[in-house]
Amino acid sequence: MTLIFGIETSCDETAAAVVEANAEGKLRLRANIVASQVEMHRKYGGVFPEVAARMHVETIHAVAHEALLAADVQPDQLDAIAVTHGPGLAGSLLVGVNFAKGLALAWDKPLIGVNHLEGHIYSLWLSDHADSLRFPALCLLISGGHTELVLVRGHGDYALLGGTLDDAVGEAFDKVARVLGLGYPGGPAIERAAREGNPHAYTFARADLGEERPYAFSFSGIKTAVMRAVQPQPAHSRRARGEESLREGNLRADVNIADAAASFQAAAVEMLIEPTLRAAQDYSVTAIWLAGGVSANKYLRTQLAARTALPVYAPPLPLCTDNAAMIAAAGYFRYAAGQRDSLALDVQPMLPLA
């Protein structure tokens, strides 16, 4: 049996977890603690890096302690400490990486740096489908900072097929939710509001990226399209100068929020599905995997499954958004492959997956 301690502080969740692997490499989640900064960031309508880093410093000890208690594991039983070292906010990453280094030194355990995006992919190994995962697979990695199509050829073997040219899809959900006055984080709020709405009520222009970029995404246009459809029209002169601005919850009287949320969600999901199906066909994959915060979206899950004969696998709902269980899971496979990092491990805010 192998026990991996995972630590994640790349953005606004302070998280620690313990994952156990048996001799066959089958994973079991022993503890998963997430201290969310959502309440604090709700006040500002988003994540402020300085605030996020400070909150990590304040909570990381308690979160780590609680994870060990919940797992009923003593430090000397651990086999390695896995920690997110990028991509993410530099100040936030530093807190987790330095904390992990301290533990590795104090407990005399190997340190393993994990890519946050790889962590999202490995959240699938903590799902009920873990035994069905085969390579090559196509992973649609969708979060607040990323929208990427990744060909997963084997453990730790990735090829980036395409990504967003501008905003990430999670960012679009968050911004549209603000426009509609639905609060932060926007994804779950839009999904909830959309359940009561008509997805055909509004037509939002979809990005046309042309045939030379078959696996690309673009989400900045749809955000503007929603703003134009629901906000009072700015004076023509301001609009001509590009001075339209995001005004939270300032809606025209005739706007139906549920309809707008449902129409936006349907358009955004459609924009995710098309390039995904194209890539799945072009690369003859065994399955389509969803990962990242936006993969929690049930409408996306059902729409995608309805449009393909391939199996569609997604992480358990609590492991879609940022957590340390996924970091421990990815860390286990890196540990098994022999990766050991020195105490010189540094944060890499722009760390690419491939």
Stretch that binds ligand KG4, among 76-84, 106-114, 294-302, 331-339 (CB under 6 A): 294-302
Minimum separation from the CB atom of position 143 to Zn ion (A) = 4
Least Å distance between CB 291 and ligand KG4? 8
Pick from 47, 297, 329, 332 the residue near ligand KG4 by CB under 6 A.
297
Distance (Å, whole) CA 272 – CA 289: 13
**Which CB sits closer to ligand KG4, 162 or 293?**
293
**Beta-strand (E) ranges in 79-180?**
80-86, 111-115, 137-142, 147-154, 157-163
Q: Are 199 and 148 in contact (CB under 8 A)?
A: no
In the list 279, 322, 325, 326, the residue contacting ligand KG4 (rule: CB under 6 A) is 322
CA–CA gap between residue 5 and residue 31 (Å, rounded): 9
Task: List, in sequence order, every beta strand (DSSP E) within the chain.
Answer: 2-8, 13-21, 27-36, 80-86, 111-115, 137-142, 147-154, 157-163, 288-291, 312-313
Which of these ranges, 92-100, 166-174, 227-235, 342-350, lies near ligand KG4 under the rule CB under 6 A? 166-174
Determine, following the binding rule CB under 5 A, whether residue 295 of this chain makes contact with Zn ion. no
Residue 165 gets the label, from left (phi > 0), alpha (psi -120 to 50) or beta, of alpha
Question: Which one of 20, 118, 148, 174 is in contact with ligand KG4 (CB under 6 A)?
Answer: 174
Closest CB 9 distance from ligand KG4, rounded Å: 12
Which one of residues 68, 251, 296, 329 is an interface residue with ligand KG4 (CB under 6 A)?
296
DSSP codes, 170-182: HHHHHHHHHHTT-
> Per CB under 5 A, does 322 bind Zn ion?
yes
Q: How far is the CB of 227 from ligand KG4 (least distance, A)?
A: 18
Q: Do residues 118 and 83 touch, judged by C-beta distance below 8 A?
A: no
Say which amino acid occupies 240. Answer: A
- 147 contacts Zn ion (rule: CB under 5 A): no
When asked if residue 145 is in the footprint of ligand KG4 (CB under 6 A), the reply is yes
Size of the site for ligand KG4 (CB under 6 A): 19
Determine, following the binding rule CB under 6 A, whether residue 294 of this chain makes contact with ligand KG4. yes
Interaction between residue 124 and ligand KG4 (CB under 6 A): no
Residue with tokens 């008509």: 198
Q: Which are the contacts of 25, defined by CB distance < 8 A and separation ≥ 6?
A: 332, 333, 336
Whether residue 164 contacts residue 135, with contact meaning beta carbons closer than 8 Å, is answered with no
Residue 306 Cβ vs ligand KG4, minimum distance, rounded to whole Å = 17
Q: Rule CB under 6 A: which residues touch ligand KG4?
A: 11, 143-145, 170, 173-174, 185-188, 191, 292-294, 296-297, 321-322
Q: Rule CB under 5 A: which residues touch Zn ion?
A: 143, 322
